[in-house]
Structures are given as structure tokens and as C-alpha cells.
Structure 1
Amino acid sequence: MAAVTLKAVATKIGRTHANLLHHFGSAAGLHRALAEDIAATVSASISEAIGKRRRGEASERDVVDAMFDAFHAERVGELIGWVALTRQREALEPVIDTIRTIVEDFRVSSDTRPMDRVTLGLVLMAIGDSLAGDEVAGATGLPREAVRDDAVGLIKGIVGDSSN
């Protein structure tokens, strides 16, 4: 995202710098809009998988796959890395709001299980996987899919095995 400047985006889409400045207000505004778009896409994908799981149409692994795939496709690890490096924490707000939504989606009103702990673990694993999954898996000699298996184990370890 560091290269996502108003000038670079304006050139890429055939608009003027002034036009984008009017629309987004600043480069920070453009970055926030980008983060909002990423967060909305990730949230929709994960919410859909959670809904299918509740209806018995999907497994825990399907939910994990949806989360990891969305984080990877939308390059969430890179977004968070960029935010950390540039110290522009306000750009993280859309992602933080999405995480809150995931916790709410995971938790049914009558459910007393610690879904916040499940979400914390899954999100941190998915961020790491989206940022350097291939490299870390290669260094361990394990297939990249192993972390997804571990994520399912995390769910079952915290809330129990619902397949019984």
C-alpha cells in the first residue's frame, strides 16, 4: 500500500490527482477506502461460510478455508504489515470492525462458548498465512495446508468437536 498514492492511482485509472483528492481528501483517505473495501470483501466471505456452517452445509474446515482464502486473496497480511510499518493505525479501523463482526457472526445469542478466543486465533493464523505462508511452510518442511488443519484443531480445542 505504500505505493498506493493519489498520483499513482490517478494515473492508473485515467483520472486527475485533483479528482482523487476531491473524492478521498488525502492519501490517508484513499488508504482507508482501500482498507474498507478489503474488509468488506473479507467479511462477506467469512459471514457466508459461517452461515453455511450454522445451517449444516459446511464444516469447520470450510469456514477456515473461507477465512484463509479471503485473507490471502485480499492480501490482508500485507495491509497489516503496511499499517504496522507506517504507523497509520487508523487505516486498520475497517479491519478491526470486520474482526468484531466475525466475533458477532460466530457467536449465536444463546452461545456461551468463547468465540472471541476462536476468532483471535483464527485471525492471527490467517494474517500470518496471508503474509508469509508459503515461506514459513517451506522452512518447516510442512505443506502450507497444515496450518489450516491446525486452525480446525484450534476451533475444536476451544469450543469442542461439533462433528460428534
Structure 2
Amino acid sequence: MTDAEPLRTKRRKRQAGEAREEGLAAARALLLEGGPASVTLANVGREIGMSHTNVIHHFGSAEGLQSALMGSMIRDLAGALDEAVLHLKTDSAAPSMLVDQVFDAFDEGGAGQLAAWLVLSRESDHLEPIRQAVLDLVAAVREKLAEDAAADDRMRSIVLLIAICAFGDAVIGPQLREMLGLDAEAGRRLVAQILPSLILPGR
């Protein structure tokens, strides 16, 4: 998509909050479809049928738009991790559920592309808000699957492994799976298979 393409959505009047939310939704879709370079004021305006001037009014600048998008996606990622914690406390199929929750957040939720963007642009400080969500997830994994207060290091390593695998699967997984002739679920299926042996070693 180029800045010369026509508006995709007919212009209409919106409340300020509605316009901002539509802008963020469009920016997220652009990020997932075309990467960080596609997240521009002009492209967002085109997607939601809003003039360049109005997009600037709601976000201030391209940097303001990108910062707002990062904040929105970070909140969603923290929410997904919190959701995983809640499920861990009630769901008997905890290992596979945990893998699905984290993989979904990094893939469908766009956290993989967001994390790559933040790291490559040296903006990793934006990830700080998910710190407590990650620590809560470690504690929930320990409580549900190990029940051993001394297992913190192992639980942290397990969460790290799942997150790194989910990140890699979201960023380059489709290309690697195509090269290897594997289906879309291959990565998460592999992690779910090895997770029980990591949680309860020797069993």
C-alpha cells in the first residue's frame, strides 16, 4: 500500500474517543500486515476515512501515533498474560492452554511484531508495564504445576522458553514452517509436548 492510494473508508464524523480507537485498530492492522514502516498518519487516515490533519489532531504526530499503538498493544499483552494466569488456576489442561495463550498473544495479538519493533528501535523500555504480568504468570505456573516454592528458577525458565518460542513463531515462524513443510500449529504443539517434562523433571 502506498500513500497515493485512495481512501478505503468513507469519511464520517466521530467522537474523539471513537476516532482514536479506530485509528489504533487501523494502526495495529497496518503493523501486522506491512510492518512498522506502514504505520504512518497518512495510511491510518486512509484506512479509517480521516484526513491527515484530523489524524494529527488525535495523535499529535507520527511518533505520538506509534507510542499510542505501543501502549495499547502492551496493555493487551499484559491482559493476555493475566488471562493465562486465571486459566491456570481453573483449567486442568494447563500446559497446552498456557502455550496457546502466550502463542496467541504474540501471533494474533501482534505482540511478536510489537516486540521486534520495540527492540529494533531501541524502545524496549515500553515493555516495562508487562513486568508484573510476567511475574504473576511465573507464580501461577509454579502454584498450578509444581507447588514448590523452590521451583521459581525453573518456572521462570519455562516462561522464558514459551515466550521466546512464541516470539520467534510470530516473527519468522510462517517462513520457517513453509521451508520445513510443517503446519501452522507445529511450533506451539512442540512446546506443549516438551513442557510437562520441564515442569516435572524426572517424571
From 70, 74, 89, the counterpart of 1:39: 74
Alpha carbons of structure 1 residues 142 and 37: separation in structure 2 relative to 1, 3 Å? same
Q: Which residue of 2 aligns with 1:134?
A: 174
Aligned AA (2:165) = M
After TM superposition, the runs of 4+ consecutive aligned structure 1 residues lying more than 4 A away are none
Partners of 2:74 and 2:194 in 1: CA distance: 23
Partners of 1:100 and 1:155 in 2: CA distance: 23
Partners of 1:156 and 1:99 in 2: CA distance: 25
Output the TM-score relative to the length of structure 2.
0.64
Alpha carbons of structure 1 residues 18 and 48: separation in structure 2 relative to 1, 3 Å? same
- Is the partner of 2:72 in helix, strand or coil? helix
Q: Which runs of 5+ in 2 are unaligned?
A: 1-35
Contact 1:10/1:17 (8 A) holds in 2: yes
Partners of 2:133 and 2:165 in 1: CA distance: 18
Pairing 1:5-154 to 2, within 5 Å after superposition:
5-84=40-119, 87-90=120-123, 92-98=124-130, 100-108=132-140, 111-112=149-150, 113-114=152-153, 115-153=155-193
Contact 1:35/1:94 (8 A) holds in 2: yes
User: Which has the higher relative contact order, 1 or 2, with Cα contacts under 8 A spaced 6 or more apart?
Assistant: 1
- Is the partner of 1:15 in helix, strand or coil? coil
Greater C-alpha radius of gyration: 2
- Is the partner of 1:73 in helix, strand or coil? coil
Partners of 2:86 and 2:109 in 1: CA distance: 21
Aligned AA (2:44) = V
Q: Which runs of 5+ in 1 are unaligned?
A: none
| Percentage of pairs with the same residue | 28
Alpha carbons of structure 1 residues 12 and 116: separation in structure 2 relative to 1, 3 Å? same
Task: Between 132-141 and 120-129, report the one with greater CA deviation.
Answer: 132-141
Q: Which residue of 1 aligns with 2:20?
A: none
Partners of 2:110 and 2:178 in 1: CA distance: 19
Shift of 1:153: 4.8
Shift of 1:100: 4.5
- Is the partner of 1:107 in helix, strand or coil? helix
Alpha carbons of structure 1 residues 96 and 137: separation in structure 2 relative to 1, 3 Å? farther
1:160 equivalenced with 2:200 (yes/no): yes
- Is the partner of 2:38 in helix, strand or coil? coil
Output the TM-score relative to the length of structure 1.
0.76
Aligned AA (1:82) = W
